[in-house]
Structure 1
Amino acid sequence: MTTTTPTTRPAPTTAARAARLPSPLALGLWRTQHELRLFVRERDAVVFVFAYPVVMLAIFATVFGGPGEVYGPPGDEVPFSQYFLPGMVATGVVLTSFQSLAMSIAVERDEGGLKRLRGTPLPVSSYVLGKVGQVLVVSLAQTALLLAVAALVYDVPLPDDAGRWLTFAWVWALGTAAGAVCGVAFSSVPRTGRSAQAVVTPVVLVLQFVSGVFFMFHVLPGWMQTVASFFPLKWLAQGMRSVFLPDAARAVEPSGSWQHGTTALVLVAYLVVGLVVAARTFRWRRHDDG
Structure 2
Amino acid sequence: MTTTMILPSTVNVGLRRGGVELLQFRRDRTAVVFTFAFPAMLLLLFGTIFGDSYDETGVSASQVYSASMIAYGILSTAFVTMGSGVAMDREDGTLKRLHGTPITPAAYLLGKLILVLVLSVAEAALLILVGVLVFGMPVPDAAHWVTFAWLFLLSTFACTACGIAVSSIVKHARTAGAILNVPVVALQFISGVFIHPITQLPSWLITVASFFPVKWMSQGFRYVFLPDRMKQFEAAGQWELGRTALVLGAWCVIGLALCLVTFRWTEKDR
| Root-mean-square deviation (Å) | 1.6
1:224 to 175, 184, 205: 205
> 1:194 corresponds to which residue?
174
Q: What TM-score does the superposition give when structure 1 sets the normalisation length? A: 0.88
Distance, in Å, in 1 between the alignment partners of 2:164 and 2:59 is 37
> 1:134 corresponds to which residue?
115
Counterparts of residues 223-242 of structure 1 (less than 5 Å): 223-242=204-223
The secondary structure found in structure 2 opposite 1:195 is helix
Q: What TM-score does the superposition give when structure 2 sets the normalisation length? A: 0.94
Runs of at least 4 residues of structure 1 off by over 3 A?
A: none
Distance, in Å, in 2 between the alignment partners of 1:71 and 1:250 is 13
How far did residue 154 of structure 1 move? Answer: 2.3
Matched, 1:169 2:152: no
How far did residue 231 of structure 1 move? Answer: 0.6
Moved more, 231-240 or 244-253: 244-253
Higher Rg:
1
Matched, 1:275 2:261: no
> 2:96 corresponds to which residue?
115
Distance, in Å, in 2 between the alignment partners of 1:81 and 1:197 is 28
The 8 Å contact of residues 223 and 231 in structure 2, kept in 1 or not, is answered as yes
How far did residue 71 of structure 1 move? Answer: 2.5
Matched, 1:62 2:43: no
Aligned amino acid, residue 272 of structure 1: V
Counterparts of residues 1-290 of structure 1 (less than 5 Å): 20-65=6-51, 69-71=52-54, 74=56, 76-159=57-140, 161-216=141-196, 217-287=198-268
Aligned amino acid, residue 41 of structure 2: V
How far did residue 111 of structure 1 move? Answer: 1.3
> 1:8 corresponds to which residue?
none
Distance, in Å, in 2 between the alignment partners of 1:104 and 1:93 is 15
Distance, in Å, in 2 between the alignment partners of 1:196 and 1:64 is 31
How far did residue 280 of structure 1 move? Answer: 1.4
Distance, in Å, in 2 between the alignment partners of 1:175 and 1:77 is 29
Distance, in Å, in 1 between the alignment partners of 2:161 and 2:182 is 19
Distance, in Å, in 2 between the alignment partners of 1:193 and 1:283 is 15
The 8 Å contact of residues 71 and 83 in structure 1, kept in 2 or not, is answered as no
Distance, in Å, in 1 between the alignment partners of 2:133 and 2:10 is 42
The 8 Å contact of residues 199 and 235 in structure 2, kept in 1 or not, is answered as yes
Aligned amino acid, residue 249 of structure 1: M
Aligned amino acid, residue 98 of structure 1: F
Aligned amino acid, residue 191 of structure 2: S
Aligned amino acid, residue 204 of structure 2: W
More helix, by proportion: 2
Percent of aligned pairs sharing the same letter: 46
Return 5+ residue gaps in structure 1 as ranges: 1-11
> 1:7 corresponds to which residue?
none
How far did residue 198 of structure 1 move? Answer: 2.5
Distance, in Å, in 2 between the alignment partners of 1:41 and 1:218 is 43
Aligned amino acid, residue 230 of structure 2: A
Return 5+ residue gaps in structure 2 as ranges: none
Aligned amino acid, residue 103 of structure 2: L
The 8 Å contact of residues 192 and 286 in structure 1, kept in 2 or not, is answered as no
Q: Give the 3 Å change call, closer, same or farther, for CA 101–121 of structure 1 in structure 2.
A: same
